[in-house]
Structure 1
């Protein structure tokens, strides 16, 4: 379910990632015979439409990983990229396999870091997997759009028993400073931090609701018998505390997100 919803409704995240990579790709320094990794790859759309077009033609290997098994299955059935290998394991929150240490020239992560409870652990692992002189490219939210929604679900009389995780710095006064310290602690002494103000607008309807449902990790823990009721309650919270409902000049109602995103290019010196 999550895979299908994300695949059908992630157009705006794809467009945002394309915008960021085009704006900051001049910061990426390529070598011959590159080894590439994308972490938290989702359905593989970013790999194919955002990363692949900017890769040098002589790249050696392209690896992608996601801890969601259904995403892995979807990619194996639907995504065709030359020299592609899909990891069926979490390479950022678990221990790094020995064969991946000092393996990659570039590691990408789109709409990924803000989803983690321990971004520092992930960055330590990413630093281990980079070759000396390798680079990372990340974009991630300052505060995710679902923070308030998850807070409400966490105290719901029926659904509160499930762990509604919020991102690591959802209550931090200065998330960029917190993330910066994580990059430094992981070993990235040379990094460029950029802030992009993003405004997303959706027609009043199911697209934005389905997008927010698709990034709810609790769904994968629920028994099938509860999912329909849970989604109904979750969507009600989305409508009440989610993106702002505004009326346009022509009298049309839309849902509007205003969020800062960070784009970070970090080097393993």
Structure 2
């Protein structure tokens, strides 16, 4: 997923969900009294979600660090937002065994939107997020896919001989919670395991409507990890096959002669966690460490 300029203009779902979640949790985040909050964002991509929706929440004296595993994304974001004060971007693999020197224990907040479903070792990622926060405390706000129909499309494409060469490791790019019977409980346990003392996890059932085939194709092209492995002349045939499978799964409304729309019903993990016990109980939807009510997962 290294096509930064394309991603900058084709991440409607990511922008939609990030804005809603940040609007909801803006007053829940533990902002410092002195206004000198340090915030690190995991998986910032091209940077527009971070700068449009996270940056305005940060106090004027705050420091912002955007990170991504892709050096191309980091380069693009650094250039795009080079005039922004107290803002920097750097490469970070949040699933790494050891954080880069100088990052551990530096931040009051960690945010991440539409990134953690790319990380197979969620325990390692959450351990690193915990370590990024200051020893005296801090919090994190995380949102990522538990499941999405695109994963089933990928598996069907992999079974086709003409695409299998490029998709042998397809499971690497499917959310580690996609097959979970109870993703909310599983993720809650991981938060407990790495040391977060209070947290809330929701699994939200969402539907996003793509207006037209081109909109859906552009989104797929921006995030599909397999296209960059193929010769460019195969991109359009791959996207055509992708669309055929989507239609066969009855995920579209209308036809080519009408205003065709494509429906993506997905499950989104939304998690808020604090490193230390000092917090206002009523900001959580449930008491810490208890199972979510039936029906939420």
Is residue 2:115 matched to residue 1:100?
no
SS for the counterpart of 1:26 is coil
SS for the counterpart of 2:188 is helix
Is residue 2:19 matched to residue 1:18?
yes
Query: Contact 2:184–2:202 (CA<8 Å) still a contact in 1?
Result: no
- The match for 2:178 is 170
- The match for 1:27 is 28
Match of 2:72 among 67, 70, 73: 70
SS for the counterpart of 2:45 is coil
| TM-score, structure 2 normalization | 0.81
1:111 is displaced (CA, Å) by 1.0
Question: 1: CA distance between counterparts of 2:5 and 2:238?
Answer: 17
Match of 2:93 among 85, 90, 93: 90
1:94 is displaced (CA, Å) by 4.7
Structure 1 unaligned regions, length at least 5:
none
Matched residue count = 265
Q: 1:224 and 1:247, CA in 2 relative to 1: closer, same or farther beyond 3 A? A: closer
Q: 1:255 and 1:223, CA in 2 relative to 1: closer, same or farther beyond 3 A? A: closer
| TM-score, structure 1 normalization | 0.89
Structure 2 unaligned regions, length at least 5:
277-297
1:147-158 matched pairs, under 5 angstroms: 147-158=151-162
Query: Contact 2:187–2:201 (CA<8 Å) still a contact in 1?
Result: no
Choose between structure 1 and 2: higher strand proportion: 1
1:78 is displaced (CA, Å) by 1.2
Question: 1: CA distance between counterparts of 2:154 and 2:12?
Answer: 23
Match of 2:270 among 256, 263, 266: 263
Is residue 2:53 matched to residue 1:50?
yes
- Which range is displaced more, 227-236 or 101-110? 227-236
1:232-247 matched pairs, under 5 angstroms: 232-241=240-249, 244-247=251-254
SS for the counterpart of 2:164 is coil
1:135 is displaced (CA, Å) by 0.6
Q: 1:209 and 1:42, CA in 2 relative to 1: closer, same or farther beyond 3 A? A: same
- The match for 1:253 is 260
Question: 2: CA distance between counterparts of 1:231 and 1:124?
Answer: 37
CA offsets 1:144-179 (integer angstroms, 9 cap, x no match): 231101111222213223322311121111111221
- Which range is displaced more, 68-77 or 228-237? 228-237
